[in-house]
Amino acid sequence: MPTYVGFLRAINLGSTRKFPKDAVRASAEAAGFTDVETYLNTGNLCVTTRMRSLARVEDALESAFLADRGFEVPTIVFGQAELSELSEYAVGLGERSGPLQRHYISLLREAPSRKVMAAVEERSTDQTRIVVHGRSVNMMWSHATPGDVDPLGTSLAGALGLSSARTAKVLAEVSRRWC
């Protein structure tokens, strides 16, 4: 049976969107997923299922989470091979771009069009390099300060569609554990 890795968006922020990792795991198991594991309390989830479609897995998880929590929990799902490749790419890119003070990867539900990809990468500056690769956007800061503004802005972030960001370190660890 295939194994998938899911990234939940916008949980455990503030007092109204609480969804601890044990509850995430229990909700996925109640929906029929097996070999369910979580990592950290930021919405990293590994599941096994007979389903073979990323969209079906996303729909099933989102429906289970909505029923459990009473609020929508957008979930972006990757197969192991795709996630492993994105993680390896991000690690190599970070090493070639270093030293970096900050490296985030926005994981996307859909790969962006060439037009959106070009617009996103054009936002790179001397201090912030942005590289789109498949269903990921690598944002790397050579010099970062607390409170830095998202280099993509609302308009470009919206053009990318549903996304959920992780640090390069977290993405590498998730990939090491589950891919």
Whether pTM > 0.85 for this model: the answer is yes
For residue 122, what pLDDT band results from cuts at 50, 70 and 90?
A: very high
Query: Which strand (E) or helix (H) includes residue 116?
Result: helix 114-121
Element (H, E) at 102: strand 102-108
What are the structural domains, with CATH classification, of the chain? 3-80 (3.30.70.1280), 84-178 (no CATH)
List pLDDT tens digits, range 45-59: 999 999 999 999 999
Residue 114 pLDDT: 97
- DSSP 8-state symbol, 146: T
